[in-house]
Every structure is written in structure tokens, then in C-alpha cells.
């Protein structure tokens, strides 16, 4: 991911993200969950990042010139579907990995108890 813009409001960040994504540049807003919790009205900086660093120059140019045509647009919907699928696979792998580690620890504890009690 590469930072392309810093916004001071969630509305401004969403506007830039929408501009980028409508032109084929998938984007992510950092700290967006905390922006809605800003009870003390402290100025915040919300970073807009792009997923593909090769689109950096296009993103910067598009932010400065809304008529810019992106050279290598990405199908944003397909990108997010593949990202979601990849995260689901990693999540399933992590659950299985945790289960295996848990079983090994359980086996070691049982073995230690049998050894100590015998």
C-alpha cells in the first residue's frame, strides 16, 4: 500500500476514495473507524492509501486533475472480491493452525501429567 492523500475529514477522505475507485484505483482509508469516535473534535489526519503501488502516479495525477484518464485501471469490484476471498482463506488457515498448535500443547500437557503421576 502507498499513501496518496491525507484528508482532515471522513467526508473528504470518502470523496477521494470514491474518485480513485470510480477510475479503477482500489483505495483504503486509514483511521476511518476512529474518525467517527472523535468526541473531542481534535483534528485528525485520515490517510488514503492505494493497494497497487504501480498506480501511484495515476492516483496523484487524478487527485489533482479529475479529468485524468488512468492508464491501467483495475476492476475494483473483482479486486475486492479476490481480496475478500484471500482473507477468508488466510482466516481458515489460521483457525486450522491454531487448532493444531492447541492439540500439540494439549498432548504435551497430558504426556507431562502421565509422566509425573506415574
- pTM of the model as a whole: 0.64
Query: What is the average per-residue pLDDT within 15-32?
Result: 92
In DSSP terms, 5 is beta-bridged to 48
pLDDT for 64: 97
Domain ranges of the chain: 1-74, 75-118
Write the class of the CATH domain 1-74: alpha beta
* Sheet of strand 46-50: strand arrangement: 2-7, 46-50, 27-29
Q: Where are the beta strands (DSSP E) in 1-118?
A: 2-7, 27-29, 46-50
Specify the residue for cell string 481480496. Answer: 83
Range list of β-strands (E), 13-103: 27-29, 46-50
81-114 tens-digit pLDDT: 888 766 655 665 666 777 787 888 888 998 999 9
Amino acid at each position: 500500500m502507498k499513501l496518496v492523500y491525507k484528508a482532515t475529514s471522513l467526508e473528504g477522505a470518502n470523496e477521494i476514495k470514491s474518485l480513485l475507485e470510480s477510475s479503477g484505483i482500489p483505495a483504503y482509508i486509514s483511521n476511518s473507524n476512529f474518525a467517527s469516535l472523535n468526541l473531542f473534535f481534535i483534528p485528525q489526519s485520515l490517510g488514503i492509501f492505494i493497494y497497487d503501488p504501480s498506480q501511484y502516479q495515476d492516483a496523484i495525477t487524478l487527485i489533482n486533475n479529475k479529468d485524468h484518464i488512468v492508464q491501467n485501471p483495475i476492476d475494483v469490484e473483482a479486486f475486492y472480491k479476490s481480496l475478500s476471498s484471500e482473507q477468508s482463506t488466510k482466516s481458515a488457515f489460521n483457525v486450522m493452525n491454531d487448532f493444531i498448535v492447541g492439540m500439540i500443547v494439549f498432548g504435551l500437557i497430558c504426556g507431562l501429567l502421565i509422566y509425573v503421576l506415574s
